[in-house]
Structure 1
Amino acid sequence: MDDSSSSKRKPEAQREGESSAKRLNVTLGLESLDCPICFVPLSPPIFQCSVGHFICEDCCADRLNNKCHLCSLETSFERCFGMEHVVQSVTVGCSNDKYGCAEKVTYYKKEEHKKACTYAPCFCPESGCGFAGPTKVLLDHFTTQHKCPSTTLPDSGMLSLCLQPGLHVVKCTGNNYFFLLSMASEPYGHAISVVCVQPNMTESKFTCNMSYDCITTGCCGCTSCHIRSSSLSDGLPTVYDLILPKGKVSDDANGSCLEPAFIINL
């Protein structure tokens, strides 16, 4: 390597060092990084009018008569690469940091991250409890604090459980969700609901077939339902998926009902 090449690389290395050294913790009003029209965080491409008002791509496409929505001047909108560089460099902590997420995300991607964050909380529906935490922590909370019985869902997806009034946890190995069976004693019999507990509510992707057959009374029944997803922030489901009719299903001495069979299709 000759001296000229070495002398050229030294300033480049120096600039890289200066760039990393310029990272500082600053206070910034994040509203200044939002589109002033739709209030959504600005993300590339960003446009500005001739006066310098920033606007997002969608609002720029909706402008009327080439007028700026803010100053009402007829103008042309040009890309603002400087502002794009700014928004790409601003990072914020996840809103689930108190639940254990230490990730820093680009400001305009914070909602995208929030929807997929595995630390987003789920909530304990037990009266007066108020516990909230990631799914795995809530699962432990159910089994240790409330002594809820639990069963691991086998690969076949089929269970036969002896339920009692209350909650029963069905664990799914290696997944960021679990199923919660709830049995309530109603005047008309035992009412069972099933819910998939996960932090970010999505459209149902699970179904459940439930059936029972009481040898003593000869009563039987079955149902098939989509399993609702919920963080339990609004409590347990208020609708039931299976009813075991009073008088047609016998209880044992402990108040347990017969063993309903559950087939959960994943």
Structure 2
Amino acid sequence: MAIAASLSAQAPPSSARAEADARQSRYQVGQMERVIEGAVEHGVTVIRDRFQQLMQMPADQLVTDNAHARGFRLEGYGVFFDVTVPTFELSSLVWSLRTLDQNDLGLQRAVTALEEHVKQQGDASLEQALKRLELQVGPVALSRVAAPAVAGARSAVGSAATTTADAAPQAPLSDPILADPNEAYRAEVIQAIKDAMLDHSSSLAIGAGEWLTIAARGNDDRPRLAPADSDARTRIIRLRGSDLAAFLARQITREDALQRIEVRLF
């Protein structure tokens, strides 16, 4: 009897075990929050680098905020994450650059027209990006004025040098980001979130009949003082627990798992 009483006293109560399990679950959800935030930031970096390479201009100031994620475990449903995606101010700047290119404006007139458009937008981040652009374009323009090109002049290197007129025209930019920068940004972020769902969610212990759901929304989709009937959209990205388990067990390929991730608009 004494031995049984001693063992009973040493065994932790069920409430303590439940609290320990809940604490561990919150920890794993918190870890996944950071993973999702990192995935969104990765998508931002990819788009920013593409834009910077295409436009040959700094794009750091076009991102207005950081990603934020908050997760919850819902009994009988699974795990749900609410994600705020940072704003990437691309549309107005791409429109300005495309318009200037179509009108064949000179450098000074192009900068002036771009300044006027940015002032009309009233966006501080765009103004900072324009200032950085002027700092980079300025020295190049001055060097061209100091050493103007002579029409028909040949290069001083080699007898096979060609004139400026013989140079091949530069190929037009065809990256989809120029046609619809916002859609390209959304697609990159959604893909990064999908990859994070497959690669880093095993510790969440999602049941076969449960869901892993991520609701992603831009932080500028609805201002704080906007009316309740705003037409802002939220991307609902979710994967059934049975499909996640099949992928983790290598019963289906990564491509199949990505196809089974649902993306809906709310």
How would you bin the TM-score normalised by the shorter chain?
Answer: under 0.3
Query: Which structure has the higher relative contact order (CA within 8 Å, separation 6+)?
Result: 2
**Relative to total residues, which structure has the larger helix share, 1 or 2?**
2
TM-score using structure 1 length: 0.22
**Relative to total residues, which structure has the larger strand share, 1 or 2?**
1
TM-score using structure 2 length: 0.22
